[in-house]
Amino acid sequence: MAAGYLALFKSGELERRAERLYARLALCDICPRYCRVNRREGEVGYCRTGYLPIVSSVCAHRGEEPALSGSRGSGTIFFGNCTMRCVYCQNYQISQNPVLQQSKAVSISALAEHMLYLQNELGCHNINLVTPSHVVPQIVAAVCAAVPGGLRIPLVYNTSGYDSVDTLRELDGIVDIYLPDLRYASNEPAKQFSGASDYVERARAAIKEMYRQVGGLVLDENGVAQRGLIVRLLILPHRLAGVKESLTWLAEELSPTVAVSIMAQYYPAHRAPQFHQLSRKITREEYEEILALLAELGIENGWVQEMESPESYLPDFSREGHPFEPAVKKPE
């Protein structure tokens, strides 16, 4: 199955989309914050990112869902900064430290080269765009630049779910695989712990649009994802995420066959220890409650993370090379 953006490039539509998105940066409305700053001139709003995208890490990530990691890894590009302020963010080093991130701004051509490196040099199955919501124009422009160089593997849009539907519509036919979080079922914890008082309606509308575009998950003969939607749900302590309500919504509003990824890796990172509701890992009872609900709703597609040590999923973006894999010391 050919990546959707190839046909759009050939017709000229991909370049037109990039131009429309780039024009919107002059009065930025790319994400639901609608800051209306002129990012084309270097002004920054909530996402703290001007025109140039910030790339914090580029690697072959083998810790994603099996259908994304496959045998050769998911070609992951971690973008700096974010449209949310989650107090428990495991990527806080790059999502909430804008001063340190400014030195990692890259040109559109450099971003395109990163994509080609992941495909050609590392042999990854896909290009996995992590925290892309605020840099969609730059991503589309980079894909335009990379296609003549041979880019051909699927694009994965790996997002918090806090996305603008208008922006997502510009990605129709460009993104092959959507990987959104559905982080909350209530706006009260979303506001308190992530600074997003309208998260639920925004994320649900976004996920509906994603599903309209790509439908259910499609795998190749090797079990590697080629197209479709995978919804991630992170179990938080004290049922703060409302995973039960979100799973029910997915089954009723989309389909019981939707692919879900239940994540048990919560760890009280960043500022979480300051909040008693978030200061511990999840319990076995909280975990098994979700397993029972999956069976009750008839949701069978996807993955459930084991209750292993959550510390094993913590990245370190100060580490040279791979944020999830310690560098191997060469023998002297």
Asked if residue 315 belongs to a domain, the reply is no
Asked if residue 163 belongs to a domain, the reply is yes
For 311, the token pair is 């510390």
**Structure confidence at residue 46 (pLDDT):** 97
Which phi and psi (to 5°) does residue 157 adopt?
-100, 100
pLDDT tens, position by position, 129-186: 999 999 999 999 999 999 999 999 999 999 999 999 999 999 999 999 999 999 999 9
Measured in whole angstroms, how far is the alpha carbon of residue 212 from the centre of its chain? 18
Asked if residue 144 belongs to a domain, the reply is yes
**Structure confidence at residue 330 (pLDDT):** 38
Asked if residue 65 belongs to a domain, the reply is yes
Of 10, 30, 233, nearest to 143 by C-alpha is 10
**Structure confidence at residue 320 (pLDDT):** 66
**Structure confidence at residue 321 (pLDDT):** 67
* 182 within 8 A of 234, measured Cβ to Cβ: no
Q: What is the tally of structural domains in the chain? A: 1
**Structure confidence at residue 101 (pLDDT):** 64
- Enumerate residue ranges in the chain where pLDDT < 70: 99-101, 309-313, 317-321, 324-332
Asked if residue 132 belongs to a domain, the reply is yes
Of 57, 164, 148, nearest to 109 by C-alpha is 148
**Structure confidence at residue 2 (pLDDT):** 79
CA angle 119, 172, 165 (to 5 degrees): 120
C-alpha distances (whole Å) from 213 to each of 20, 173, 220, 253 are 19, 7, 19, 15
Distance CA 314, CA 319 (A): 12
Asked if residue 321 belongs to a domain, the reply is no
**Structure confidence at residue 167 (pLDDT):** 98
| Domain at 199, CATH number | 3.20.20.70
H/E run at residue 324: none
Beta bridge partners of 178: 157, 229
pLDDT tens, position by position, 256-292: 999 999 999 999 999 999 999 999 999 999 999 999 9
Range of the domain at 11: 5-309
Asked if residue 107 belongs to a domain, the reply is yes
* 136 within 8 A of 30, measured Cβ to Cβ: yes
pTM, to two decimals: 0.94
Distance CA 289, CA 307 (A): 13
Q: Which DSSP state fits 105?
A: B
Asked if residue 325 belongs to a domain, the reply is no
